[in-house]
């Protein structure tokens, strides 16, 4: 299994985000045999919160030798050794024009 970083666009429920917006991008760290499995895990977990993955911006294996910044590095550290981990980073919300 490989640890993956999945950057996705999501639709969330009204009131789920402090901003009140219902659209956002987020990085998610999870495990998978391949990128398809990692994406499927993100979709399945998101559905439990009634969130919808609208699209995948990018998916890449997490390289523990790379500095991704404090938040993403912390998510990777938390997920290391936990094959059940599906960890969401900050939701960057936006409004529809």
> What mean pLDDT is reported for the chain?
96
Q: What would the pLDDT profile of 29-73 be if each residue is shown by its tens digit?
A: 999 999 999 999 999 999 999 999 999 999 999 998 899 999 999
Confidence of residue 95 (pLDDT cuts 50, 70, 90): confident
70 vs 56: CA distance, rounded Å: 22
CA nearest 30: which of 91, 92, 82, 90?
82
67 vs 71: CA distance, rounded Å: 10
Indicate the pTM of the whole model. 0.93
């Amino acid at each position: 299994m490989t640890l993956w970083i999945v950057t996705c666009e999501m639709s969330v429920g009204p009131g789920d985000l402090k901003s009140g917006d219902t659209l956002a991008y987020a990085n998610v760290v999870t495990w998978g045999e391949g990128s398809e499995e990692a994406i499927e895990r993100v979709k399945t977990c998101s559905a439990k919160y009634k969130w919808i993955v609208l699209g995948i911006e990018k998916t890449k294996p997490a390289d523990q030798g790379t500095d991704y910044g404090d938040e993403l590095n912390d998510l990777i550290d938390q997920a290391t050794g936990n094959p059940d981990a599906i960890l969401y980073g900050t939701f960057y919300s936006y409004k529809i024009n």
